[in-house]
Structure 1
Amino acid sequence: MRKFTNETAKKIMANEIGVEALLKQYPEYKDEVLRELGDIKKNAESNVVQAIIDRYTASAKIANAKISKSGMNEVTVNAFLPNIIKARFAIYLLEQLNIAVSAKTPAGNIRFNRWDGMILQKLLFRKGFERKPVSLPAFRFFWKWVKDKTILMPLVNKKGIYCFYSKELIKELAALTQDKNCLEIAAGDGTLTRFLNEAGIACTATDDYSWKHYIDYPAFVEKADAKSALAKYSPEVVICSWPVPKNPYEKHVFRTDSVQLYVVIGTRNSQTTGDFEAYHNADQFTMELDERLSALIVPPSRDNAVYLFRKKAAAEQ
C-alpha cells in the first residue's frame, strides 16, 4: 500500500496538485481507472458514462468525509486517499474520451464532402481550426444546405471545440462584462476571451493546460488552475465555456468573494457539462437559464444552455 504524508493528502484534497502531476506520481491508479473506462469504448451509452462518474464521485465524497473526520489519521488517509485520486483521474480522462462517446462512428473515418467542408470553413473558421465569431443570419441561411450536420461536432471535439460563438452572443457577453474585471477559467485555446478582447472587453484567459496533447495553447492563455486564477485576479465576472461534468473547479467560483456574476456556456445535461451540484448549492447566487442567450450558441441545439449566476444582495442571503 502506498503511503501519503499529511501535507500531500491535504494538497490532493484541496485540488492543489494538477491532474497531470497526479497521473505521473500515481500511475498505478491511472491504469486501474483506464481499465474501467475501457467499458465506455464498448458501450458508449450515456448511462454507462454517468454510472461511472457517479460511482467515482460518491467514492471520493465518502473518502473525503472519512479522512476529514479522522483528523488526518495516517491509516485512514492511506486507505481512502486513492479513491479521491482515482475520481480526479476518471473525470479528467472522461473529458478526453468524450470525443469517442459523442461520435457515432470513429473520428478517423469521418469526413465532410467537399461542399459541406467549404461552407463550414467559410462560416466557422478564419483559417485551419481558428474559430471566428459566427454571423447568425449567415449561419442560419447556409446551415440548411449542409448535408452531414451530425458529424460537425465529433470532428472538432478532438481539437477541444465544443461549440461556436455567434457575433450576437459575443455582443451580449460583452454587455454583461463591460467595465468589470473579467476572468475566463478552463479557457482551452482562449477563443472566447479572444473574441471578448476584440470586442473591447478586458478579459483574462486561464487554463491548467491539462489538454496540452490536444490543444495548442496560445501565449495569452495563462497557465493556472481555476482556484489559483480566482485568488490572483479577484474577478467580478467569471466565464466558463463547456466545463467538465462534475468538475472539481467550479465550486471555487462561488467561494470567491469578489465574484458578482458567473456565466456558464454549456448544456442542460449534467452528464455533458458543469458541476450541477455546485450550482444548486450556491446559496449566495441566483441561477438563471437564459433562453435568449442559449439560442445564440452555434450549432443550434435544444440542449444548448447559458446559465447566469448573480450574487444576491446582502439582505437576500
Structure 2
Amino acid sequence: MFVLLITALIKYANVPDDIPARLAAARLPELVPPSSLLYLRVFMLAINLWAIVLKLQMIEDKVIFHSPESQLPRRVEIRLSGFMWCSFFTFQAWALQTFYLAGALASSMSAVYGTPDLGARLPVALWFAFEVSFAVAVLTSFIVKYVLIPRKVQNGASVAGFFGLPDLLMHNCNTLFMALELLFADLPVLLSHFPLAALWGLFYVVFSWGWLARHGVCWYEFLDPSLPKAIVMHSVVLGVLGVFFAIGAALAAGAATISSPYVRIALVLVGVASVARTGLITGIPEPPVGAKKE
C-alpha cells in the first residue's frame, strides 16, 4: 500500500530527471563498478528473500506481557505462523527493502546487460523506497539493540528469539545492506523527503492498532495507545526516525565533500556496527541473577 501511495505521488513530485540513470550508477566506480554493484545486489536480494522464507515457515507460541500501566490484558498468548509474521514492523520494513533491492537489481541488469529499462516512474518509487528503507533499517536495529533487548532482559524474559537466524538477518543485515547501497549506489537522500518516512511510520502505527483490535496484542510497548504517555512515545519514535533520516541525507551529501572513499566506508561501517547486535562477541544476554521473570 505504501509503495502504491508513493508511486501515485510521483506525478506531483518534483524529482531530478536523472534518477533512473542514477539508480544503476556506481558512486565509487573505481572500487565497485556497475557490474560489481549488480552482483552485490544479487547477493543482498537473495539474502532478503531467504530470510522472508525462513520467517514465514516459523511456528512459534508467544506469551506477551503488556505494561502494568496499560489498559490491555497483562498476559496474552498467541501462536504465530505464516503471514502473521508480517504484522511486525521489522518484517514490513524488510519487505520494503526487498522491493527496493529487486527494482535496483533490475535497473543494474538494464545498465549492464541491456535488458528493458524500468521506465521513468518506477525508478523514482524505488528511490523513495530507498530513502525510507535506510532510515527505517537504522531505527529498527537501534530499537532492537538499545530498547527491546535490554527491556526484556531487565524484565527477566528470554531474548533468544532475537538471535535466531531470520531475526539476526532482519535486525542487522537491514542496516548493513542499506549502508552498502548508500556507499556504492548513486542515489541521493533528500531531507525534504522525510515526510515519506514519517508516513511509513504512521502507516504502521495505524496498522498496529488494527492488529491490536483483532488479536489483542501490541508488539511494541511504545505503540500501545492505552498507555498514559502514548502520544509522547509515538512522537519520540518519530523524532528518532527523523534523526536517522537526516543522518542518511548527511552521509549521501557528504560523499561529495569527503574525498577519500576509504574514510567514507569506515564511517558508514562504524555506524552499522554501533547498532548491530549479533551475539557473536558478547553472547546472548541473560537476565540478572534474581530478576523476576515475566
TM-score norm. by structure 2 comes to: 0.30
Larger RCO: Structure 1 or Structure 2 (Cα < 8 Å, ≥ 6 residues apart)?
2
TM-score norm. by structure 1 comes to: 0.28
Structure number with the higher helix fraction is 2
Structure number with the higher strand fraction is 1
